[in-house]
Chains A and B, each alone.
Chain A
């Protein structure tokens, strides 16, 4: 009936020292009420951006995505490159004319003031431009010599929109893209990220500060006074990646495996940068739990509906609660993950019982890669059998 599905869920427990990683318009750290208690919150948008930036750092510049209005200029520049360098060797005027014709079906008309800019920001992969150049199949000079009308007709036969709708860069495949004018270019995100919530109740604290005027010799007063709001929290962070959806977005199984692993790595290690220099809140998690499921994703935030009261430490108790929740959900509604992988530095027998032994994070990613690769190979085989 429907295609097989694989969800990779990432559950992270991470403690932040006094910090204000994500604040609202009055400077207060974001909050939410859950289970009747006020919690620290970091919005999903904030953490997705941090993840995206972290993700892009390890990607080859040529493979990266870019969000730009300058697609026409980038394409023209590629067309002017010599043939040996993947271009077509046209002169700049011809290249610009050809680029404009190629991009016309996208509705990317030039803005009148800024010659190089299109009407909206398009999030696409640099490799996709190379693919558009390849569509010309060595006919660039021939096409560029045609009069406007014939050029339009000839270029109209080339699948430019289809090229931009396939072979997405990993970032677009993960986080999605929406183009209101041209829905064929839309990509549904393969990743869902929940707002991070503290496992316990928090109160916002105010840090009163004064700043000294170094050159002031007149009086002993402060040069400036103010307050910064902050809290400290142990956060439960949750994200789920639809591997099947990612494969549909990326088409290649090897890219899918690689991107899934890189996403988990980037999500785990990233941190929103709000007030980073004031609080240096860059921490690493106490616990990373990966659950692979072929039926449905399960958000374990319900473990903290009753806020944790830290008698033996918030992180410790939060981790035990997470283990209990995973086990109880598996028993009560039979939703057992097909695989569990975990890395943790919290001592408790319960954790080992629920998650298996702790694996160092790099090895955890390797194991994830193997499992995802295996699933992709099996899915490919099933598809072939059906055919």
Chain B
């Protein structure tokens, strides 16, 4: 083992309403119970269920996120997580301001998809097509993250 395992992941988006719940659901499905995945919003619609369109897409994918309720991120949440994933560079800056000490743990969800990493734009109120795009981007990103999050063997 070469580096500390990632045991808890916090996914952030703006409203904790569409993107983060989808990413949370996909990560949880991919990583299983070994890693604690949670999500929160930088400016959350507290207590709100996910967007129906997001729920529909996730359901079609086979993950039920209906039980999710929006919550506002706190510094404690950020400090307790080993890894914080955000949707775009602006949110990263926002999050660094919130918890400067966590600066090194904040990554874009699209980190492994290219350089510079693509942002995942907010589908809120944009109609089903935007949601479809966001969902695809999130799914690609999560797929790219997963190998990096499993305890890997050191390359020879």
The finding on whether chains A and B are genuine partners in a shared complex, rather than unrelated, reads: no
| Residues of B in contact with A (beta carbons under 8 Å apart) | none
| Residues of A in contact with B (beta carbons under 8 Å apart) | none
